Amino acid sequence: MINLSGRPLMSDMPPYRHSGAGNPWRNPDDLYAGRPPWDIGRPQPAFLALAEAGAIQGRVLDVGCGTGEHALMAAGLGLDATGVDLASRALDAARRKAGERGLTARFLCHDARRLAGLGEYFDTVLDCGLFHIFDDNDRSAFVGSLRSVVKQGGRYFMLCFSDRQPGGQGPRRVTRGEIEAAFTDGWRVDSIDPATIDITTDPDGIRAWLVAVTRI
């Protein structure tokens, strides 16, 4: 097991304006042609705090896993960890990290809007920066996809861009009301708290929501 506070072990804030044609999942490998600002080389502090509090349990799925920091964090806890993404460059980097750190985690090229195709169930799902990239239709598909793989009583933890973030750069801002509306059917919203997404290009990070939801 790793020392979570002692080893550098991701998130999602691409520098684009949200529009239907500009959604990053349409050309996910383009985001990793260089090092994107959300690829910070360690877990986001909000998720690290969840891990240290024992909130991340059982079989763990990291959706939009990028270069794998949160799946590897879960693997370091001795948990069964899987990461899914559509960016093959990021997945290759995640697999290299796993080998270098001596950790066991699966990294699969899979669409997070079609998780039922995995044919598996998970106790914990982590999402750092995926929810906020979707337009309304894809957001609905994504939440339905989550519902198909999260066990009853399982939990979904999400970090997303907040409407508290000033300016217009980056993904669409998400409000508390949008989050609550998205998770009405088969879910219980446990908490929506102000948080920060760390990035490499701004020491103050990005204003975010940390969301905890339970499958009921």
Which of 2 and 167 is assigned the larger pLDDT? 167
Q: Are 145 and 113 in contact (CB under 8 A)?
A: yes
Q: Mean pLDDT over residues 149-175, rounded?
A: 93
Q: Are 100 and 94 in contact (CB under 8 A)?
A: no
Residue 24 has, within 13 A of its CA and on its CB side, a CA count of: 26
> Cβ contacts of residue 136 below 8 Å, gap of 6+?
none
Give the tens place of pLDDT for each residue, 93-120.
999 999 999 999 999 999 999 999 999 9
Q: Which of 19-33, 121-135, 176-190 has the lowest mean pLDDT?
A: 19-33
* Stretch (H or E) spanning 157: strand 150-161
Percentage of the chain surpassing pLDDT 90?
Answer: 80
Band (170; pLDDT cuts 50, 70, 90): confident
Residue 186 has, within 13 A of its CA and on its CB side, a CA count of: 14
Q: Are 15 and 169 in contact (CB under 8 A)?
A: yes
> Cβ contacts of residue 208 below 8 Å, gap of 6+?
46, 159, 160, 161, 162, 165, 194, 195, 196, 197
- The pLDDT of residue 26 is 63
Q: Mean pLDDT over residues 176-203, rounded?
A: 96
Give the tens place of pLDDT for each residue, 13-50.
333 333 333 454 468 888 888 888 999 999 999 999 99
DSSP states of 80-91 as a string?
Answer: -EEEEES-HHHH
Does the pLDDT at position 199 exceed 50?
yes
